[in-house]
Structure 1
């Protein structure tokens, strides 16, 4: 349902009296940097899958989302999660969904605002079969990660790379397997917990995880069918309900990430693969959630995936003169803002001054998080727009409704056009957990996709269901409001508030 929850910027905003109202002028000054040759990347804030021609043929290397937030149960640490392999059907055996043994998965951290990776946590995977003479993923019930009945196994090595220094091996750990089904894995929660492994080596401490999980992103993806069917008949359904992803993540002390007293870091993931010349080539990049899908045109999508944040000036025209507003005008007759679109630059590229902007910043597409922001006692799904300054775009938590946040911002919430737009999908279909890695357990292959019962979200405190699904939700909205909301939603998409699968950097 397109809803009017009546949330306003004035409600409980705890940054400075009119922080977000002042975001637009900040954005204008940031745009001025562009004319001076400063790097600038497309705006974005949502996510989907299969965003570029080349990466759509390499699902193991295709990033779906990045999350970065101060850990709610360990506030002296930062949790960073990267998800990969879109649309995993839980019953997709017998090979299910391994990480790519021929790729390097990188979590990149920029701690001085220059658009370059200062710290990289790199994951490398290795697969094996206990019994290659069978087609089975497991040959009986699996009760541990070393159970002889777990036929297919993966392990990974984590390295930390700082600047140009040599990689430091932190540890090797097992991957949580795909959830074949209740008969094969009667206590999957125990298997997942065995894959949460602490490390304390080479002067670095923390915890890592790699394994399957429910896809935590919630949204209606049918924007690609002529902007929700061309008549708003396709809204309010969680397109990712019942699907899994592969999650890798780290939880590390904040003091090991920040630099020179600046608490703001930028985060993004990349995947690299070796080419015929034995060189590592970047094939995937993701920071903020749908940049590549909706902002970057087809001719440049693969180039985006191979690019680095410090070089984002080449994509600037797609931000200042985006395609989507013109489509909205053509399909729905919606009046659209005049170009250039200068109002969103600071929110998505430089960080908002006084909230999550580094002391010295090069505009670049990164997920920026202020690690000094206190953990919210009562998280709001609308993040900063809902008065909760720990939420998106100040990093991204699992329960942040980045579609609605971005939609409202792109529709003018920051420049004198208050609105309460949303896609009618307000929460994930499965409950998050209260400790690292926080993502919900994967959906079981023994249960038809999408039929799992929902549960309470421990991280967000909200119900683990999606709001307003189906035609009834659309019918229940006032027609005038529906039209306005639809236009705003689509404005979100191409103006740059969508974004989900991108990559960069190598070891």
Structure 2
């Protein structure tokens, strides 16, 4: 777990085309092989025993990318409450009252947040004893009296040793989509729920079509033992609860300087209080406890065994390097061995120091790992104290990487250096990337046996071109059988 304590003084903007090509080759052939350890599940849907029983606070996916239409900002999207069937009335899918829904930013590489954006929700339920309906007529505007169940939120910006700054006092949530007759223009409701932030940026809390895409038959002996069980997007038709935040890069970078300090680490987390139950009530009491956490996709799902998943959800990233059982699973991953046992494809040699660099330090020359390139480690930031840097599992984004005009779903594997694992865009196909690189694919040299991947290359609802970029929620039943 040792990290060479030095500071990389070369910015991303100064990297040469030759260095970028070398990085692509290295990542595709070795580093991204680590993401192959995550080919067996949705990114974070019901991934741990305890959180599976508490879906309202279950993180599903996290995205961080330079906004393509506002490149001086970063868009952060965090999702919760997976597998929302659109017909799930009469209560549908509210946020948990009083819980802390957080997006955390580490700009120094300490594993601790330098800034946290926290959404806290509360409910106004006007149904009472008069009706069971979520809405008792069409809802064309958030202010319509026909909308009987409403949620509001406070958004705070939290920084160490500073008083909390309230960015939004009473933001209204775009409601669950109860159907076309009830909400004939959900896009208007989402637009009305989008709030401009003081100092620049905007945010929205909304239901959305689940942006993650894959075939989950991976659990049946890795796609049926012969890659025959592929081609169905298991998450198609399901919705999630999303918070989206577009924020100036200067608010995220260390010392407010994204030119000198362009790399950030991001993770989402949820905290809640213990509930005191009484007839018809559940009152939160006591201290807040972290119950869910998500940085890179696929880590807790398949890198960690079942017995470590709940503990990982409770840890801050700053403690990751102190957990030998967690580190051991990064260095000796399980999934490549399963692929070898089922398909006969040789597993890469261990220990996987490349995985350690991807998941725990970020990729940089200063990390002293096997990938001698600069991509997305806070060690590249010029003003940090490298002596305080610790390995920590985070989704790292180099904000100086230029926006790709035509994004490639395979990211670095296909020469698109703005793609995963340099942050994560909505269209990044992390599953197909993993299926390819598990056997050492390099740009332009794919493993033909896995060329089709899981045959799910995108969602069936296109993403938007402007904030919040998410597709509107599904409004038809998942089960379309006659």
TM over 0.5: same fold? yes
| Superimposed CA distance per residue, residues 26-56 of structure 1 (whole angstroms, 9 cap, x where no aligned partner) | 97xxx9xxxxxxxxx9975861411001000
Deviations 1:56-80 (A, max 9, x none): 0000000110000111111111000
2:111 is aligned to: 115
Q: 1:103 to 1:387 in 2, by over 3 A?
A: same
Cα distance, 1:323 vs. partner?
1.9
Select which of 356, 361, 365 maps to 1:345: 356
- The reply on whether 1:430 has 2:461 as its aligned counterpart is yes
Q: Which of 464, 472, 480 is the equivalent residue of 1:441?
A: 472
Match of 1:93 in 2: 89
- Is the contact between residue 392 and residue 400 of structure 1 (CA under 8 Å) also seen in structure 2? yes
The answer to whether 1:381 aligns with 2:409 is yes
Instruction: Answer whether contact 2:66 2:399 (CA < 8 A) is retained.
Output: yes
Query: Are 1:150 and 2:178 matched, yes or no?
Result: no
Please say if 1:137 is aligned against 2:134.
yes
Q: Identify which of 274, 287, 292 aligns with 1:284.
A: 292
Kindly report the root-mean-square deviation, in angstroms, between the aligned alpha carbons of the 2 structures: 2.6
Alpha-carbon contact 1:87-1:243 (below 8 Å) kept: yes
**Residues 101-500 of structure 1: pairs in structure 2 closer than 5 A:** 101-132=97-128, 133-171=130-168, 172-200=170-198, 204-260=199-255, 261-275=260-274, 278-313=286-321, 314=323, 315-353=326-364, 354-359=374-379, 360=386, 361-413=389-441, 419=447, 421=450, 422-444=453-475, 447-449=476-478
Q: Which runs of 5+ in 2 are unaligned?
A: 1-15, 276-284, 365-373, 380-385
Q: Cα deviations across residues 417-472 of structure 1 (Å, max 9, x unaligned)?
A: 8536422111111011111111000011xx33277xxxxxxxxxxxxxxxxxxxxx
CA displacement, residues 103-141 of structure 1 (integer Å, 9 cap, x when unaligned) = 110000001112111100000000012232210000100
CA change 1:351–1:259 in 2 (3 A) is same
The farther-off stretch of 347-356 and 178-187 is 347-356
- After superposition, give the CA deviation of every residue in 1:295-342 in whole Å (9 maximum; x if it has no partner): 111111100100111211211111111222332333333322222122
Change (3 A) 1:417 1:325: farther
Query: Matched residues in 1 for 2:140 and 2:43: separation?
Result: 35
Shift of 1:257: 0.7
C-alpha contact 2:398 2:422 (8 A) present in aligned 1: yes
Deviation string for 1:182-233 (max 9, x for gaps)?
1001111101111111121xxx432111010000001111211222223333
Q: State the distance in 2 between where 1:450 and 1:198 align.
A: 38
8 Å contact kept, 2:217–2:223: yes
Determine the C-alpha separation between the residues in 2 that align with 1:417 and 1:187: 46
On the 8 A contact 1:243/1:450 being kept in 2, the answer is no
Does residue 16 (structure 1) correspond to residue 45 (structure 2)? The answer is: no
In 1, Cα distance between the equivalents of 2:423 and 2:358? 11
Does the residue aligned with 2:426 lie in a helix, a strand or coil? coil
In structure 2, distance between residues paired with 1:14 and 1:237: 39
Question: Equivalent residues in 2 for 1:37-76 (5 A)?
Answer: 47-76=43-72
Q: How far apart, in 2, do the equivalents of 1:346 and 1:158 lie?
A: 33
> Comparing 164-173 with 409-418, which one deviates more in the overlay?
409-418
Deviations 1:147-170 (A, max 9, x none): 100010000000000113232111
Shift of 1:390: 1.1
SS at match of 2:24: coil
Residue 158 of structure 1 aligns to a residue whose secondary structure is: strand
Shift of 1:363: 2.4
Aligned pair count? 424
Instruction: Give the direction of change, closer, same or farther, for the CA distance of 1:188–1:415 in structure 2 (3 Å limit).
Output: closer
TM-superposed CA distance for 1:97, in Å, is 0.4
1:325 and 1:44 map into 2 onto residues whose CA distance is 10
